[in-house]
Structure 1
């Protein structure tokens, strides 16, 4: 069994914008600070600042899934404490079946709410992916948005991981990752091909004529009748 908290190996000059990587990170609001533009950035700082603003706005949209579960557990504890006191009439405590049903319902509501928020966060991850794709073209760089253990199930003690990796043109953002562990792909900037180096390819339905070499005359033996016979 491998380490569940392994992290990707990024390029030497790449910039990693860490979104989430901590124990019980789903219990606190997500936010990222401002990352200054790298020295190798091929575009102006204005575009980079716009990228950071859009990225920060999307990260703030991520829901804090753990709140539902924590509130459910606290509400269940309060219900059990209140119903454990005598009701004041005959000195008997509250009925156990009612207490049990209410406690189970509270836990189910808390767990269900947490799972629902995880589904919403996966949709927000797609919006962050779109921001990375958009600014990969505008900045002229390669950007990858990596996630790990963001789904419903994850191993014990495994930490949720979210990060945006920005790499210079021509360099991959990520050099190595644990096979099958991370989700998200890299958006590569493809520079426009210069005209002198452009290659033309004919459409598939057009068949180009292949030049043929002229064939030399093939000598043919001709039978000539002998008139002397």
Structure 2
């Protein structure tokens, strides 16, 4: 029994050559990890401890979204000097003989479905306020104004660029500038989705509100891309809620 105890003691005291060699190799092996240089990484100035200026500020944001330059306005016939000449000239989309009420409805749609959000908001609220009162001549002048590129309209309406003739003397452009400036400081309170949906359900003689009425009311309340985004987010939320039940 004493012999067995001595053997066990020798076994425990014997160093493990494999583990020692492995640890020595690890200590001798050079590090292959590449230390990233902090100077190469673009850290947003808003995340540093001592920002150069107060946040938020365009001076601290290296990725600001800048307004694109105004595109070249479409060239008109040299014989067109006044707005009357432009209105009486052939329509670029062949809508010369469109009826007044049909024109009014189309302009409501085109005012709300612009290519950029800024003009969606300005033109949709302007159409809601002014289009019902416009006569045929004013509607056709406004129609010609909407044939311009969206960014050109934005620069003219906000006063960031001076409109050339015949737009410079346009009464519609003058009203649009006054509307975009919001000098009356009015706060537009849109109707609720439930109110519009209930009106649509009542019009369609339905006793309950379905998803179709909800989506249609969202399109009526929100202009352009906002309505598409709202419907998409609402659909995703409903799908997620249904899948968790």
Shorter-chain TM-score: which interval? under 0.3
TM-score, normalised with respect to structure 1 = 0.23
Higher-RCO chain (CA-CA 8 Å, sequence separation at least 6): 1
TM-score by length of 2: 0.22
Give 1 or 2: higher strand fraction. Answer: 1
